Structure 1
Amino acid sequence: MVMSVKTTQPVRVGFYDIERTIGKGNFAVVKLARHRITKTEVAIKIIDKMSLTPDNLKKVYREVEIMKRLSHPNIIRLYQVMETQSMLYIVSEYASQGDIFEYISHNGRLRESEAQRKFFQIASAVDYCHRHGIVHRDLKVENLLIDGCGQIKIADWGFSTFFQPDGALTTWCGSPPYAAPEVFEGKVYTGPEIDIWSLGVVLYVLVCGALPFEGSSVQVLRDRVLAGRFRIPFFMSTGK
């Protein structure tokens, strides 16, 4: 008598075997997966369309459209999009070394020379986006990933949008500690200036290992941002 042994088959999405969860959101989960043939590791963002409002679903499709247009060595690459009546699967490049926030949490602030190299990559990618009429609007260290070669990859384009040089945007979005003064004041903005302010906050975090603007409430944070109150640590170089 030959006994049959049941083996657990991996969950598959298209040509990808799902391995584990690497991120969760309100309406989506991100899974690490591996291509069945090439064995390439990828990140698959799985979105339940039925749980989204029409407006939020429209934003998801805009995110996909923007990712399709982006091709830069320091931006997470979109590989494939699969869709059913109820689900959306966004397959993208996997950055195996986590994000800058995790890196600083474990290793402390970056040396200024290292921060300079990392920031150059970030600024190069953001400049590329702006030259192509795209603004990210949620730049923060949690959205700056590190690949297996130590290169920066900008991720999470959920708040990104298209802009016109003579146009005006009004949406409040992103993380308050990285928000520009005009956002706190409810003013209209073109787009790039919001990213540029956030870049300044990111650079401060890279060099100092802490946020320049913090507060016990959004109101306190707003007051400090509008007043431009932040400290310059003793260990920062003078630039001479």
Structure 2
Amino acid sequence: MVNEAQSVFTEILARHGYAIGAEMGEGTYSKVKHCTWTKPGETPPEKKKIAIKIINKKTAPKDFLEKFLPRELEILRKVHHPNVVQTFEIITINHKVFIALEWAGKGDLLAFVRLRGSLKENDCRRIFTEMSTGIKYLHENEIVHRDLKCENVLICSNNTIKIADFGFAQLHLKPTDLSKTFCGSAAYAAPELLQGTPYIGTKADIWSMGVILYIMICSSMPFRDSNIKTLLSDQRAPLHIPSSILPSLSKELKDLLLHILSFDHNRRITMEQIFKSRWMNKK
């Protein structure tokens, strides 16, 4: 019965030009697989390497199906930006949703930093600028990501940076609207989320951007995340930068980090101020 259902999926997807390959990764209610796509009607036919996200609605809980999944699909249909992963097509077959996505040939930022170690400031600036440009576009379109982390920052074959995974994202949010749901990974979460207080999504996203920037610079996490109490204590304390990194760190970059990772969200730097900062505009 399973094989029969699988062959139905394979047959329908083949009609759309998709040939599914090996599994790349697995989420709570989804899998991501390698895929080649030949766009129907394209002359001459060109095989494109893409990723396909497969969501199984049978294994997903009610709140995911009624709240998170419809939001994600609406956002994927809406967004189109050079620094956001492109969605080519969304196909629903019975209890499965297939999302055809742009392929990021060089994997995610976490794997990149693990391989390379601490990145040079110029490389950090290029990656951070492209990432920030993608997030700025989302915020301008009333979308907050709410799960920004190195694993959701992808690197294409041409080194372009792409924001991915809108599973926790929220849309139609004005700059002063408050969110209440705790989303994402604790290690990247802003203090106001960890404290369980209503938060402004764009400000929480900016905090997560600061954690990502720190990881690129230091090749380590900025805060211990063994438990929430320790994490909040570290976030409140003066930012620790490893002694091996500190001597080579420019004052402009250190200043930017401190302004992004401000425990008090009212004093945290805005996206506009990030783009105007001295470090971002350094030649």
Does the 8 Å CA contact 1:18/1:32 hold for their aligned counterparts?
A: yes
* Aligned sequence identity (%): 35
Which of 232, 237, 240 is the equivalent residue of 2:250? 237
Match of 1:149 in 2: 158
Q: Deviations over 1:8-51 (max 9, x none)?
A: xxx56231111211111121110110013421011111111111
Match of 2:50 in 1: 42
Match of 1:190 in 2: 200
Q: Output the aligned Cα RMSD.
A: 1.6
Which of 18, 21, 24 is the equivalent residue of 1:22? 24
TM-score (ref. length: structure 2): 0.77
In structure 2, distance between residues paired with 1:173 and 1:228? 25
Match of 2:140 in 1: 131
In structure 1, distance between residues paired with 2:93 and 2:34? 20
Code of the aligned partner of 1:236: L
Q: CA deviation at 1:150?
A: 0.6
Does the 8 Å CA contact 1:101/1:141 hold for their aligned counterparts?
A: yes
Match of 1:55 in 2: 63
Q: Deviations over 1:182-219 (max 9, x none)?
A: 11111111210000111111111111111111243232
In structure 2, distance between residues paired with 1:25 and 1:166? 31
Q: Deviations over 1:147-174 (max 9, x none)?
A: 0101101101111001123321111011
In structure 2, distance between residues paired with 1:210 and 1:21? 28
Code of the aligned partner of 2:145: H
In structure 2, distance between residues paired with 1:211 and 1:134? 26
Code of the aligned partner of 1:186: G
Code of the aligned partner of 1:29: K
Does the 8 Å CA contact 1:164/1:190 hold for their aligned counterparts?
A: no
Code of the aligned partner of 1:95: A
SS of the residue 2:124 aligns to? helix
Does the 8 Å CA contact 2:89/2:100 hold for their aligned counterparts?
A: yes
Does the 8 Å CA contact 2:186/2:225 hold for their aligned counterparts?
A: no
Change (3 A) 1:226 1:183: farther
Match of 2:219 in 1: 209
Does the 8 Å CA contact 2:23/2:33 hold for their aligned counterparts?
A: yes
Q: CA deviation at 1:227?
A: 3.4
Unaligned 5+ runs, structure 1: 1-10
Q: CA deviation at 1:74?
A: 0.6
Change (3 A) 1:133 1:186: same
User: Which stretch shows the higher mean deviation, 182-191 or 149-158?
Assistant: 182-191
SS of the residue 1:50 aligns to? coil
Match of 1:82 in 2: 91
In structure 1, distance between residues paired with 2:106 and 2:239? 33
Q: CA deviation at 1:230?
A: 2.6
Code of the aligned partner of 1:96: G
In structure 1, distance between residues paired with 2:61 and 2:223? 33
Code of the aligned partner of 1:19: G
User: Which stretch shows the higher mean deviation, 189-198 or 208-217?
Assistant: 208-217
In structure 2, distance between residues paired with 1:45 and 1:198? 24
Unaligned 5+ runs, structure 2: 1-9, 39-44, 254-283
Match of 2:124 in 1: 115
Does the 8 Å CA contact 2:52/2:98 hold for their aligned counterparts?
A: yes
Q: How many residues align?
A: 230
Is 2:183 the counterpart of 1:181? Answer: no
In structure 1, distance between residues paired with 2:225 and 2:26? 26
Does the 8 Å CA contact 1:22/1:31 hold for their aligned counterparts?
A: yes
Does the 8 Å CA contact 1:45/1:91 hold for their aligned counterparts?
A: yes
Match of 1:8 in 2: none
User: Which stretch shows the higher mean deviation, 106-115 or 207-216?
Assistant: 207-216
Code of the aligned partner of 1:48: N
In structure 2, distance between residues paired with 1:177 and 1:83? 34
